[in-house]
Amino acid sequence: MKNYCFGIDVGGTTVKCGVFKIDGTLVDKWEITTNVENNGEHILPDVAEAVLGKISDMGIDKDDVAGIGIGVPGPVKEDGSLVAAVNLHWGYHNIVKEMEELTGIPTKAGNDANVAALGEMWKGGGAGYQNVLMVTLGTGVGGGIVMNGKIVTGSHGAAAEIGHAHVDDSITDPCNCGNCGCLEQVASATGIVRLAKEELAKTNLTTVLNQQDLSAKTVFDAYKEEDAVAKVIVDRFARYLGNALAVFTAVVDPEIIVIGGGVSKAGQVLVDAVQTYYRKNAFHTCKNIPIALAELGNDAGICGAAKMVLE
């Protein structure tokens, strides 16, 4: 009888681990440090040790475990192979094969943003739906697409790489991906700071914002106080993101859009601003697709990873 499963979310500094009952209850969660030394060669063995240690601590049998789900920060193909996780200095790995060899437990792997989307569909902002487009506004912009309850990986593990959707021909400095004019450059936390710097450099309006203390949070805080410059900045951000979401829904036509990541802590005002442009430019049958805030925060990854196993 399989009573438990593990959900693992490999990040750049920590690996988040969760153990769930197969009914979906989170039993325990904890973190270990991500050891990126020697091109990340310790990462999977460390995760395996954490999982096997927890199984031992819980006094359960390996046969009690339905599987391990693991999300990693890079493109993952349907066969469970990671193309490359640049931030971890990881090259090609077959995550599934290696974890199964290390633990003897069936494993599924996915891209972290895709896995987070599955988590939000399961227990968060997308609960009750089977077709979810999630956009994560953090340091970068990530994305995840779930169709009929399953993660869409794409042919090269690059589906939902919507942070690198090209949205502006006039941007000439490069994104981390090497291209110029990506959504990430204007809609991430750093992208919002970019827009703010540009606006502050040219505005004559009075504002509480200043070049030294800019962040997505200070901009949205000022926006909530009806600061004139913050309004212009948020409007530009909302136009970029709302228009981009309108394009994405014309491609995959989800039931719901979920917005997560640190920037989304701005709350409903962010959704409202984005929705204005979304509704203006979305295809008519998609205009009323709801836009919701993510609800799971840092747990989205472990939840989605566990859900991969439970599917």
Residues that bind its own copies (CB under 8 A): 75, 83, 131, 143, 145, 147, 152-162, 164-167, 169, 177-179, 181, 239, 243-244, 246-255, 280-286, 289
Phi, psi of 192 (to 5 degrees): -65, -40
Segments of the chain assigned E as strands: 4-10, 14-21, 26-33, 65-72, 81-82, 93-94, 107-111, 132-137, 141-147, 150-151, 256-260, 291-293
Question: Which residue lies nearer to its own copies by CB, 29 or 129?
Answer: 129
Q: Which two tokens stand for residue 26?
A: 């989170």
Measure the CA–CA gap between 263 and 22, rounded to whole angstroms.
Answer: 32
**Minimal distance, residue 58 CB to its own copies, in Å:** 37
**Minimal distance, residue 276 CB to its own copies, in Å:** 13
**Minimal distance, residue 171 CB to its own copies, in Å:** 11
For residue 132, give the nearest of 157, 158, 112, 151 by alpha carbon.
Answer: 151
Question: Which residue lies nearer to its own copies by CB, 36 or 247?
Answer: 247
Query: Amino acid letter at 30?
Result: W
Contacts of 47 (CB under 8 A, 6+ apart): 8, 10, 15, 17, 32, 70, 99
For residue 107, give the nearest of 147, 65, 64 by alpha carbon.
Answer: 65
Question: Which residue lies nearer to its own copies by CB, 190 or 249?
Answer: 249
**Minimal distance, residue 61 CB to its own copies, in Å:** 36
Measure the CA–CA gap between 151 and 145, rounded to whole angstroms.
Answer: 6
Question: Which residue lies nearer to its own copies by CB, 78 or 272?
Answer: 78
Question: Which residue lies nearer to its own copies by CB, 90 or 220?
Answer: 90
Rg (CA), the chain: 20
Measure the CA–CA gap between 86 and 12, rounded to whole angstroms.
Answer: 10
**Minimal distance, residue 282 CB to its own copies, in Å:** 8
**Minimal distance, residue 208 CB to its own copies, in Å:** 29
Question: Which residue lies nearer to its own copies by CB, 105 or 246?
Answer: 246
Contacts of 41 (CB under 8 A, 6+ apart): none
Question: Which residue lies nearer to its own copies by CB, 179 or 207?
Answer: 179
State how far the alpha carbon of 100 is from the alpha carbons of 34, 109, 183, 245, in Å. Answer: 19, 11, 36, 37
Q: Which two tokens stand for residue 115?
A: 């896995």
Name the DSSP letter for residue 262: G
**Minimal distance, residue 245 CB to its own copies, in Å:** 10
Question: Which residue lies nearer to its own copies by CB, 258 or 306?
Answer: 258
**Minimal distance, residue 95 CB to its own copies, in Å:** 17
